[in-house]
Amino acid sequence: MVDNFNFKGVIAAVVTPFGEDGAPDAQRYVEHCQWLLSEGCSALLAFGTTSEANSIGLDERLGLLEELVDADVDPALLMVGTGACSTADAIILTQHALDLDCGGVLMLPPFYYKNPSDEGLFRFFGDVIEGVGETRLKLYLYHIPQIAMVGFSVDLVARLVEAFPGVVVGLKDSSGDWQSMKRFLDADLPGFEFFPGSETYMLDAMRLGAAGCINANANLNCALQRQLFDNWQNVEAEELQGEVSAFRKAMGAYPMIPSIKGIIAHYRDDPRWAYLRPPFIEMPADDVAAALRLLRQQHDFKMTISIDV
């Protein structure tokens, strides 16, 4: 396994709290990010799918990221979602993350128009990279075709890596398809940082050279996932992976973002944490209670929120 990755380990796709006015809540966001790092997250993904990023305005995203960096969260530990359907918006978001010295950006393909050619996608990413115009940019591709309805072929990824060496450096595969992941892992992409988007595949992917895992449930059980990452070459790895996978399966019975926020709201004793942006709605209280019972009974789960901020 390569040791000099820009990012590696357990990376939480951080949920975004909203206040009573519906705006992103910077104080709650900073507190949660600091707690995640204290619990074992190696880095944080801001403004991914779990963050409701595409429901958050550009100015809101810029401001919230500044609040996080101003609170002394190390920007080198931040991977920032900057994907957009227009190159102009993607350049604004990417340049801003770079100006704050963030460790990298994660970019969706332009997702509104369906069935684009590899050539069209290549030109899109090329325009963004050249528009930013800085070789210190570290760009990670975000493959989630079941949501975006636009994905990346291995040939396109290889072409981008060859055309922009040291800039296009990795990929998050949230397809949920092991064969898709394996195609990227088996490709001749030296030093490429691959991250499965589901912790179910963490051990298998790391055995093939993955750098770690970026996922939503790390908002809740990052300490357990960190145990797996730290021990992936040891005898207990299979048992730890079993625990991590079982937790993922239990959470899969509920809608991902509302359930994570509802559980955080319970353990923080803070109902505002359950707020979501439309079109999402809060998970019913009875369902949150059922999810909590399931996690306690099957996984002895609890969140200990004790970090001082």
* Domains of the chain and CATH, by start: 9-237 (3.20.20.70)
Phi, psi angle pair for 253, to nearest 5°: -75, -5
Q: Say how far apart CA 239 and CA 226 lie, in whole Å.
A: 14
Split at pLDDT 50, 70, 90, the class of 1 is very low
Place of tokens 């609890």: 302
- Among candidates 46, 65, 60, 49, which has minimal Cα distance to 7? 46
Rounded to whole angstroms, the Cα distance separating 228 from 204 reads 12
The pLDDT value given to residue 4: 74
Judging by beta carbons within 10 Å of its beta carbon (0-12, 13-18, 19+), is residue 119 exposed, middle or buried?
exposed
Write down the pLDDT at residue 191.
87
Cis peptide before 255 (omega within 30 of 0): no
Tens digit of each residue's pLDDT (9 = 90 or more) over 126-167: 999 999 999 999 999 999 999 999 999 999 999 999 999 999
Which pLDDT belongs to residue 174? 97
Three-state DSSP class for 118? helix
Q: Give me the chain's average pLDDT, please.
A: 95
Print burial letters for 229-247: b (CB count within 10 Å at least 16), e (below 16). beebeeeebeebbebbbeb
H helices present in the chain, as ranges:
26-39, 58-70, 87-99, 118-132, 145-148, 154-163, 178-186, 202-207, 218-230, 237-251, 256-268, 285-299
> Does residue 2 register a pLDDT over 70?
no
Q: Which residue has the higher pLDDT, 80 or 303?
A: 80
Q: What percent of the chain has pLDDT over 70?
A: 98
| Position 190 confidence tier, pLDDT thresholds 50, 70, 90 | confident
pLDDT digits (tens, 9 = 90+) for 54-87: 999 999 999 999 999 999 999 999 999 999 999 9
